Amino acid sequence: MKNNTIPQVPAGSPAIQLKLIILYMLDRVPFPLTKAQIFDFLLMHDYTDYLTLQQVMGELMDAEMVMAKSMRNRTHISLTDEGRNTLEMFRKRLSKDTIRQIDEFLSENEVELRNEVSIQSNYYKSAVTGEYEAHLVALDRGIAMADITMSVPDAEIAAHICENWEKHNQEIYRMLVEKLF
């Protein structure tokens, strides 16, 4: 069910601030952030506690202001048009200090934040073959630089392939480019 405003909480409440901070963070980067990245920032700066963050994130998802996509052990969070519109209506409720703190964090950590969401891997059991498929992706500014799917006989091998992709993706990509071009 779509809700056109931030879920009802008293004006100026900490929940409103947390929602706006999350929406602002997602609006400031051209890639999704992981749930852990968002939570790390908010917890590191003592904005709230973990349980409140879980509730706030759930409310943002229920209101369709953010979209979550789970990949293996990470949840990627993206801003929706609804979230962007809500942020524009209420952006003035964020203090200049909070905006500065977010902007500094994103600027100082952009490479690490981008790398963490740009290298993706997941595996699943194929309904067609019954084998496991390891799906490996390397993105640059949202464009797939490499998108590989490998069929293997069991989940353990597929998980191992995903782990190695996350550790060695640059070497693998470089080798592919050298051999294919």
Burial class of residue 111 (count of CB atoms within 10 Å of its CB; 0-12, 13-18, 19+) = exposed
Domain extents in the chain: 14-117, 118-180
pLDDT in tens, 78-117: 999 999 999 999 999 999 999 999 999 999 998 788 877 7
In three-state secondary structure terms, 4 is: coil
Q: Is the pTM of this model over 0.85?
A: no
> At 125, which helix (H) or strand (E)?
strand 119-125
pLDDT at residue number 139: 82
- State how far the Cα of 122 lies from the Cα of 165, in Å rounded to an integer: 10
pLDDT in tens, 8-60: 333 456 789 999 999 999 999 988 899 999 999 999 999 999 999 999 999 99
Burial class of residue 23 (count of CB atoms within 10 Å of its CB; 0-12, 13-18, 19+) = buried
CATH for 14-117 (1.10.3720.10, 3.40.640.10, 3.20.20.70, 1.10.10.10):
1.10.10.10
